Amino acid sequence: MPTSSSLILHHYPLSPFAEKVRLMLGHKALDWKSVTIPMVSPKPDLVALTGGYRRTPVLQIGADIYCDTALIADVLEHTQPLPTLYPEPSKGLARTLAQWADGTLFWTAMAFNMQPRGLAQIFEHTPPEAAQAFRQDRSAMAAGMPRQRPQDAAAAYKSYLRRLSDMLDDRPFLLGDVPCIADFAAYHPLWFTRSRTSVLAEVLGLTPAVLEWMDRLAATGHGTWEKLGAQEAIEVAAAAEPAALQGDVFQDEHGIPLGSQVLVSAESFGPEPTQGELVAATRMHYTLRRHDARAGTVHVHFPRIGYALKAA
């Protein structure tokens, strides 16, 4: 069982999905270390750990590397079970609502946030090349994905905010008296509007109950953290052994046996695959074992939902 002080989050301040994890760390009052990663590729120090995956954030515990916030939430729950992110009796509902928020709500909010006025605010203090590099990097990541225009996104965003507001009519959090995974997932795209593209934040004023709910979640804080260098994080991995795998390591859906060289990649947005030996495919997660010249032997973990597994 990892101790909370061994948690290392690879992230950058502007990232909404990172804000989701920072708040979950606060919710569970955890201690963690913070490695700041670049906002755009190349990310050589991160990729030394992940073997290819470049999205943000990534959680490291020793030589175990956890990709995707849905998986990171499960790892935090295991590390510190209380307060739970999955209160009964609405665990299934909470996960399903969180998936909607991380997908539909996130992409709608970001299509709205990234309209020219929002982009101008994000990059107002940076050289024009930084904005250009960001646009190029993100359009390469989004190749093949449907693109929503800001005008269409604005209408959908307002509807989604009204739906969230309806849910908050008679309760402080989306599914009850305490926050659950759905609250953290629905919060982060709205946090971006409110704090990073605040020139557009009047849209949130239409639903005051949502703003009050955001204040309640923000009060959770980010737990206790200190900075760590990227090279030091790699040294932590190199000095550690991956944690032992749990018993039920194989649910085969692909006809690819354990021990095979495989590629795992996100189904959309950021197709860079990670290659390694498939050492576990549980009901919910894949684990790839790989060797890196700098990080040594690491286990890289992915959720099954949202990721494609192929023979290398």
Nearer to ligand GSH, 114 or 200 (CB): 114
Binding residues for ligand GSH, rule CB under 6 A, total 14
Nearer to ligand GSH, 73 or 210 (CB): 73
Nearer to ligand GSH, 17 or 32 (CB): 17
Residue showing tokens 């708040």: 23
Nearer to ligand GSH, 22 or 33 (CB): 22
Question: Which residue number places its CB atom closest to ligand GSH?
Answer: 55
**Under rule CB under 6 A, which residues in 34-73 are in contact with ligand GSH?**
39, 54-56, 68-70
Minimum distance between the CB of residue 240 and ligand GSH, rounded to whole angstroms?
A: 23
Q: What count of Cα atoms within 13 Å lies in the side-chain half-sphere of residue 101?
A: 27
Q: Is 10 in the site for ligand GSH (CB under 6 A)?
A: no
Q: Rounded to whole angstroms, how far apart are CA atoms 107 and 112?
A: 9
Residue 241-270 contact track with ligand GSH, rule CB under 6 A, x = bound: ----------------------------xx
Minimum distance between the CB of residue 47 and ligand GSH, rounded to whole angstroms?
A: 11
Figure out which of the listed residues 17, 66, 184, 187 binds ligand GSH, where binding follows CB under 6 A.
Answer: 17
Nearer to ligand GSH, 69 or 207 (CB): 69
Distance of CA 293 to the CA centre of its chain: 26
> What b/e string do you get for 80-90 counting C-beta neighbours within 10 Å, with b at 16 or more?
beeebbbbeeb
Nearer to ligand GSH, 225 or 269 (CB): 269
**Under rule CB under 6 A, which residues in 99-138 are in contact with ligand GSH?**
102
Distance of CA 192 to the CA centre of its chain: 14
- For 42, the token pair is 């190349």
Give all strands of the β-sheet with 224-227 in edge-to-edge order: 224-227, 31-36, 7-11, 58-61, 64-67, 296-303, 285-292, 274-281, 261-266, 307-311
Residues that bind ligand GSH (CB under 6 A): 15-17, 39, 54-56, 68-70, 102, 269-270, 306
